[in-house]
Amino acid sequence: MRGWFLPLAVVFGFVFLYAPIVSLVVFSFNDSRLVTVWGGFSTRWYGELLRDRQIISAAWISLKVAFFSATLATIIGTLGAFVLTRFSKFTGRLILTAMITAPLVMPEVITGLSLLLLFVSMEQMVGWPAGRGMITVIIAHTTFCAAFVAVIAQSRLRSMDDSLEEAARDLGAGPVRVFFDVTLPVIAPALVAGWLLAFTLSLDDLVIASFVSGPGASTLPMVIFSKIRLGVSPDVNALATIIIGFVLVAVAIAGWLMRRAMRKEL
Amino acid sequence: MAQPATACETKPWRSEAAKPFISVRNIVKRFDDFTAVSNVDLDIYKGELFCLLGESGCGKSTLLRMLAGFEQPTSGTITIDGEDMARVPPDRRPTNMMFQSYALFPHMSVEKNVAYGLLREGLPKAEAYARVAEMLRMVKLEKLARRKPDQLSGGQRQRVALARALVKKPKLLLLDEPLGALDKKLREETQFELIKIQESLGVTFIVVTHDQDEAMTLATRIGVMKDGVIEQIGEPREIYEAPNSRFVADFIGSVNLFEGKVDAAAPDLMRIETEELGAVLLPPQSGLTFGQPVWGAVRPERFALSRSKPENTPNAWQGVVEEMGYIGHMSHYRIRLDTGVLIRASQSNRLRDEDPISWDEKVWISLQPSAFRVLTR
């Protein structure tokens, strides 16, 4: 059965997934200003990138937004998941279930547009948030990232042995104590995974950020996108290569953490 | 009963005057339209090791969970040591539970698992850990105190769970299938260990199990449950020798059941006419009337087998050995009577060189009147 088909399929799959990335990485070391012509090896675009104030500040904004929205989304998503799995009967359960997963299937354009309208009308009615900037992007990203965290946390909570919480109650812990002593530590690996997912989703997002961001708060994807529209410049390749490296390291760490947590569980 | 005073001390349920330690009154638990427990009354005395025995879904676990406080009864009251348990949350009850899955906290070491309950009580750390060490010595786990639950074997986990539930010195310990996850050999050893621990601590135990051997070995008394109702409560011997219904007779051990009716109820003799055995002659019993439909239950080992017609009993029948199984200390027989009915009988093999009754032999089976237990339901 081993034959030639399976190895070929593997090669094909890898080429399909990684050829674009590899070419991007290779061309980031291209000396030529023309993106498609090889002009010899050079790291000049990395140097130029570091001198580009606009990109550096956008990257910094993106990281801040991703950090805060991932953290907020993890808190909100976990609480939502906890309510949905532990309180099986309450009025509005169905609506909450639908609402919490809606952002997963909602087109981003619509999410972005509706949040923009909300922010504008809130500003008119209560004066907050004043204008659009980093705060509004964080709120918007929290909204849709919380949905992803909730789904992950929910599946972990469901598979968790109920009697763990009962045992803690039985041994004399009140409900709040049980949550922090038992539930939270047990689902922690899922929450770390959820946080990382939320972080990368926020880092990735272009559409929603474009709607709700304001002057001076352009995220990295927004800056890259606007640069590309003016013509492909090689320093974007360099930037992309750095991001790829960053993501690879993050994914490796997350995977290692998750595997360690899983082994402990079993 | 040579020493009735002692019997009353160790078997308080035999005395009318004894005060129950736990009393369950008319408990009902309904889930939507399903009644898990219906109108259960139960008295349990201090220091008892009471077993709730029944098949899965009979309501035994629900009853246990109501005692622990995880389920609220639909109606009825639970009193533990004179204190009404209604609206007392599980963390305030004088009970602890050992869960079927053990429910050990995976992120805490053995030591921390066991200490958890004591620390919640507000015990100072040093004192709590001293008691933990003592308890771990008792269950022979002192060397594994720093391990995490995933680094333990099934038997070790079971002992951690027991230590964690016992360390708080609860008035009542609830055990949900405590030995269910262990293999057979370990289970048998652990049964006696459990009894020893229970006796040395004097804690009242309620054990839920579906394993009748386990219940018979462990229990001071057994409550046999079916469909949310306790069918019979009694000492293991009572449950086995004097079941009160066909269900209990059939559930505990193996039994031959015969259907019939009271044919004659004279002051000195009663005759029961069964379809399978014909007439069975018994000493008179109160509460039975002429023509009443009854069932007879006979344990396989209560039948006597012989090659010649026994003289000492009127209740004897002839049949042919259809199957025989030799299992060492006993032999099991299936005997086809002339009426066509198949009887299960067994005999213990006491003599080394006897010539055992074997296949296709024509034999007499007989029973003493006391072996025929008359059931009315």
CATH code for the domain in which residue B274 is found: 2.40.50.140
Most confidently modeled range among A192-196, B64-68, B188-192 = B64-68
Q: A170 at the B interface (CB within 8 A)?
A: yes
pLDDT at position A263, please?
A: 61
Q: Which residue has the higher pLDDT, A259 or B139?
A: B139
Whether the link from the prior residue into A175 is cis, omega within 30° of 0, is no
Q: What is the CATH number of the domain that holds B37?
A: 3.40.50.300
Chain B partners within 8 Å of A171 (Cβ):
91, 96, 116-117, 120, 164, 168
Q: Has residue A41 been placed in a domain?
A: no
SS (H, E, C) B236-247: HHHHHHCCCCHH
Q: Has residue A30 been placed in a domain?
A: no
Quick one: closest CA in A to B100, which residue?
A163
Which of A170, A179, A184, A192 has the most B C-beta neighbours within 10 Å, making it the best mutation to test the interface with B?
A170
Strands B204-209 and B49-53: parallel
DSSP per position, A145-189: HHHHHHHHHHHHHHHS-HHHHHHHHHTT--HHHHIIIIIHHHHHH
Quick one: closest CA in A to B114, which residue?
A171
Do residues B280 and B272 touch, judged by C-beta distance below 8 A? yes
B162 CB-side CA count, 13 A? 28
Q: A152 at the B interface (CB within 8 A)?
A: no
Which two structure tokens, joined as six digits, stand for A88? Answer: 């099986």
Q: Is the pLDDT of residue B6 over 60?
A: no
Q: A31 at the B interface (CB within 8 A)?
A: no
A166·B97 Cβ contact <8 A = yes
Same domain, B233 and B272: no
Q: Has residue B5 been placed in a domain?
A: no
Quick one: closest CA in B to A189, which residue?
B107
- Selecting from B89, B150, B168 the residue whose C-beta is nearest the C-beta of A266 gives B150
Chain A partners within 8 Å of B69 (Cβ):
169-170
B103·A186 Cβ contact <8 A = no
Q: What is the CATH number of the domain that holds A69?
A: 1.10.3720.10
pLDDT at position B4, please?
A: 43
H/E stretch holding B342 reads: strand B342-348
CA distance A25 to A253: 22
Most confidently modeled range among A45-54, A60-69, A217-226, B364-373 = A60-69
Last residue of a domain, one of B216, B250, B284: B250
User: Cβ atoms within 10 A of the Cβ of B254, count?
Assistant: 12
For residue B87, the distance in angstroms to the closest alpha carbon of chain A comes to 14
Same domain, B219 and B317: no
In eight-state DSSP terms, residue A126 is H
Same domain, B204 and B125: yes
Last residue of a domain, one of B250, B265, B290: B250
pLDDT at position B309, please?
A: 84
Q: A177 at the B interface (CB within 8 A)?
A: yes
pLDDT at position A112, please?
A: 92
pLDDT at position A33, please?
A: 79
- Selecting from B68, B106, B120 the residue whose C-beta is nearest the C-beta of A172 gives B120
Of the listed ranges A61-75, B53-67, B254-268, B330-344, the one predicted with least confidence? B254-268
Which of B66, B93, B101, B120 has the most A C-beta neighbours within 10 Å, making it the best mutation to test the interface with A?
B120
Do residues B74 and B30 touch, judged by C-beta distance below 8 A? yes
> Scanning the structure block, which residue is given the tokens 């025929």?
B372
Average pLDDT over residues B115-134: 93
pLDDT band at A2 (very low <50, low <70, confident <90, very high): low
Q: A169 at the B interface (CB within 8 A)?
A: yes
CA distance A15 to A23: 11
- Selecting from B69, B105, B148 the residue whose C-beta is nearest the C-beta of A164 gives B105
Q: A89 at the B interface (CB within 8 A)?
A: no
Q: Has residue B2 been placed in a domain?
A: no
CA distance B181 to B163: 17
Which two structure tokens, joined as six digits, stand for A217? Answer: 């708060």
- Walk across the sheet containing B278-282 and list its strands: B278-282, B270-274, B256-265, B293-298, B373-375
Domain that holds residue B27: 20-250
pLDDT band at B1 (very low <50, low <70, confident <90, very high): very low
For residue B260, the distance in angstroms to the closest alpha carbon of chain A comes to 48
Q: Has residue B13 been placed in a domain?
A: no
Last residue of a domain, one of B217, B250, B283: B250
Same domain, B205 and B264: no
Quick one: closest CA in A to B165, which residue?
A171
Q: A50 at the B interface (CB within 8 A)?
A: no
Same domain, B306 and B177: no
Q: Has residue B116 been placed in a domain?
A: yes
B117·A166 Cβ contact <8 A = no
- Selecting from B69, B103, B168 the residue whose C-beta is nearest the C-beta of A167 gives B103
Considering its fold, how many domains does chain A have in total?
A: 1
Q: Has residue A181 been placed in a domain?
A: yes
Q: Is the pLDDT of residue B2 over 70?
A: no
CA distance readout (Å), B154 to B59, B177, B187: 26, 14, 11
Which of A88, A171, A192 has the most B C-beta neighbours within 10 Å, making it the best mutation to test the interface with B?
A171
pLDDT at position A139, please?
A: 94
A167·B105 Cβ contact <8 A = yes
Q: Has residue B7 been placed in a domain?
A: no
Q: Has residue B153 been placed in a domain?
A: yes
Same domain, B263 and B241: no
Chain B partners within 8 Å of A168 (Cβ):
105, 116
pLDDT at position A56, please?
A: 87
Do residues B289 and B376 touch, judged by C-beta distance below 8 A? no
Choose among B315, B292, B333: nearest CA to B372: B315
pLDDT band at B5 (very low <50, low <70, confident <90, very high): very low
Same domain, B99 and B239: yes
Average pLDDT over residues B5-26: 76
Backbone angles phi, psi at B261, to 5 degrees: -145, 160
Do residues B160 and B141 touch, judged by C-beta distance below 8 A? yes
Task: Report pLDDT digits (tens) over B47-71.
Answer: 899 999 998 889 899 999 999 999 9
Considering its fold, how many domains does chain B have in total?
A: 2
The CA-CA-CA angle for residues A184, A189, A194, to 5°, reads 95
Which two structure tokens, joined as six digits, stand for A213? Answer: 């961001």
Which of B107, B131, B158, B206 has the most A C-beta neighbours within 10 Å, making it the best mutation to test the interface with A?
B107
What's the pTM?
Answer: 0.80
pLDDT band at A264 (very low <50, low <70, confident <90, very high): low
pLDDT at position B290, please?
A: 80
pLDDT band at B325 (very low <50, low <70, confident <90, very high): confident
DSSP per position, B287-299: T--TT-EEEEEE-
- Selecting from B91, B99, B148 the residue whose C-beta is nearest the C-beta of A173 gives B91
For residue B107, the distance in angstroms to the closest alpha carbon of chain A comes to 7
